[in-house]
Structure formats: C-alpha cells, structure tokens
C-alpha cells in the first residue's frame, strides 16, 4: 500500500520547518510525501459531505523562482522520495481542485487565515473544517522542527478518542516508538471507567505490546496537567468527540493549550476511516 501525506509548501523559513516535519513524519510511518507548490492563493478540496475552499496568505507564493529548488534540496537532505503535485482539474482558472484521497495531510496551525493571526496558539477555521470533513488524520506542526521519541495519545473515552488510540497503536507499530496515554478524569468518572472502555474495544493486547504508561489526572486543570506530556512526543488527539478533549481541541481554551504545548499534533476527526 502506498501511503501518502499531502503537504502544501511555503517557501519561507517557517515553511521550511513545516516541510522538515512532514518529511520526518513520512520517514517514521513509511509514507510518501506529495508536495504541492501553489501558484494560486485559493484551492478547493472536495470531501464526501463538504467542499472546503482554502484561502492561503501571500507567503505561500513567496519567491516562486526558488520554491521548487528549496523544496527539492530539503527532500534530498531528508533522504525521502517525494512526488511534486500539479493540479489537473480547475473549478475556475485560478481555483484548482485538490484530491482528498490521501492518508495524511500536513496543516500548519494557522493555514487558511490572515497572516496577522499566525502564532503558536491559533488554528484557522478552514483547518477545523478539514479536520471535521476528512477521512484522513491531520498533522499539525509546531513552529520548529523537532524529532519525536514517543507517542502521546489523549484518551477521553469518546468514539473519536478510541479512533485516536487505534491510530496511536498503528503509528507505534510502524515507527517502533512507545505510547503513553493521557486521560483527564471527568467529573463522575474514575480511571476504572476508562479502562473498561479499552477492555470493551479489545485493546488489551495492544496496550500490553505498545503502551508504556497510562496517566490519569484526577485533579487540577487540564492545561496545568499538560506539563506531564513529553515535549518530544507526537500527540494524537480525537477531535469533535463527546469528552473533555473535544472542548479543549476546538474550544475557547485552544490558544492557551497551544501556547503550553509545542508538540506536533496528529488530529483524528469524526470521519476518519483510513489506516496505515
């Protein structure tokens, strides 16, 4: 199976760091990066139940004469075999159509929004729509490239956090890196109630094989307990679930959380169905 990760290249220092992280992720999971160097500020992604128009900022068209050379040099440095994507279909002359049959997509946290809002703690609304509509997980990168040494899965008991845990097992299997699980125990629940969910999903063998620890936080604020997450872990999170994780990832506390954690995130949305 040819696993592909879709990456939109931005020919800037921040874009360089983001591509480094896509290439590193691809090496760790055995994926082939598909790199798009945009010639237009807009494009469309046709999902099963939604059409998302992405509006890039001007930085994505920076120095077009050097973009391919810069991206090629980074790819060669990483030792990864990429495919450079050129759109074939256009809804309008300046509105290319981008396929959605990838296994992963890399999104800087502020993609598709005003450059004035770019920062560690902001996720653009178009990224949220992609997460909500896509069948593939979204890799959201930190500003500076950092290799990850483990996988941190946030588990809140929701359907999407179950999907995140499944994906965490798969990433652990192909990368050879261990998993640590982090659970904020909600009011009226206990650690045993979360363990029962794992047992019902028949995850016990995977837990024994891949997980090195399960951390339950029964007191303190969620954002304070994030200090326990290793700084060099890939964080896997289920979005839009019926648990605290949903409120954290796409709620009013997002900027505070993002400014607390500098990890790379792999976000699993409600339509996720692919595997490695």
Instruction: Please report whether residue 109 resides in a domain.
Output: yes
pLDDT tens figures, 145-164 = 989 999 999 898 888 889 99
Domain residues for the domain of 207 are 150-268
Distance (Å, whole) CA 115 – CA 118: 5
Here the CATH number for the domain that contains residue 252 is 3.40.50.620
pTM: 0.89
Instruction: Please report whether residue 133 resides in a domain.
Output: yes
Strands (E), the chain: 4-8, 32-36, 42-46, 51-55, 83-85, 90-92, 95-98, 104-108, 138-141, 150-154, 179-184, 211-217, 233-238, 265-268
pLDDT tens figures, 166-198 = 999 999 999 999 999 999 898 889 999 999 999
Q: Which of 9, 267, 1 is nearest to 128 (CA)?
A: 267
Angle at 136 between CA 19 and CA 79, to 5 degrees: 30
User: Tell me, what DSSP letter sits at residue 1?
Assistant: -
The residues that bridge with 187 in the sheet, in sequence order, are none
Picking from 101, 123, 141, the residue at the C-terminal end of a domain is 141
Query: Residue 189: what pLDDT?
Result: 93
Query: Residue 128: what pLDDT?
Result: 77
Q: Block means of pLDDT (10 residues each) for the chain, length 276 residues?
A: 90 93 95 95 90 87 95 93 93 93 84 48 67 90 90 90 94 96 91 96 95 95 89 87 49 54 87 71
Query: Residue 252: what pLDDT?
Result: 42
Q: Which contiguous run of DSSP H or E holds residue 255? A: helix 254-260
Here the CATH number for the domain that contains residue 107 is 3.40.50
The residues that bridge with 6 in the sheet, in sequence order, are 34, 105
Query: Residue 181: what pLDDT?
Result: 96
Instruction: Please report whether residue 276 resides in a domain.
Output: no
111 and 194 fall within a common domain: no
Instruction: Please report whether residue 275 resides in a domain.
Output: no
Distance (Å, whole) CA 128 – CA 267: 10
Coil, helix or strand at residue 259: helix
How many structural domains compose the chain? 2
128 and 174 fall within a common domain: no
């Amino acid at each position: 199976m040819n696993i592909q990760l879709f990456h939109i290249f931005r020919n800037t220092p921040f874009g360089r760091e983001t591509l480094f992280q896509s290439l590193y992720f691809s090496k760790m999971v055995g994926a082939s990066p598909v790199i798009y160097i945009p010639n237009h500020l807009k494009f469309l992604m046709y999902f099963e139940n939604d059409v998302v128009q992405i509006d890039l900022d001007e930085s994505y068209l920076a120095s077009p004469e050097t973009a391919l050379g810069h991206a090629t040099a980074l790819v060669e440095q990483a030792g990864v075999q990429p495919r450079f994507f050129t759109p074939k279909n256009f809804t309008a002359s300046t509105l290319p159509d981008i396929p959605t049959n990838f296994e992963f997509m890399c999104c800087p946290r502020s993609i598709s929004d005003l450059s004035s809002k770019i920062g560690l703690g902001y996720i653009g609304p178009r990224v949220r729509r992609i997460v909500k509509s896509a069948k593939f997980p979204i890799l959201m990168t930190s500003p500076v490239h950092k290799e990850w040494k483990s996988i941190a899965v946030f588990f809140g008991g929701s359907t999407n956090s179950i999907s995140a845990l499944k994906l965490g097992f798969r990433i652990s299997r192909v990368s050879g890196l261990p998993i640590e699980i982090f659970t904020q125990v909600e009011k009226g629940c206990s650690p045993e109630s979360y363990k029962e969910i794992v047992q019902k999903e028949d995850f016990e063998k995977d837990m024994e094989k891949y997980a090195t620890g399960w951390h339950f936080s029964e007191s303190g604020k969620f954002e304070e307990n994030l200090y326990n997450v290793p700084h060099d872990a890939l964080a896997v999170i289920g979005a839009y679930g019926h648990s605290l994780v949903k409120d954290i990832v796409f709620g009013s506390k997002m900027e505070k959380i993002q400014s607390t954690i500098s990890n790379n995130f792999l976000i699993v949305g409600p339509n996720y169905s692919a595997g490695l």
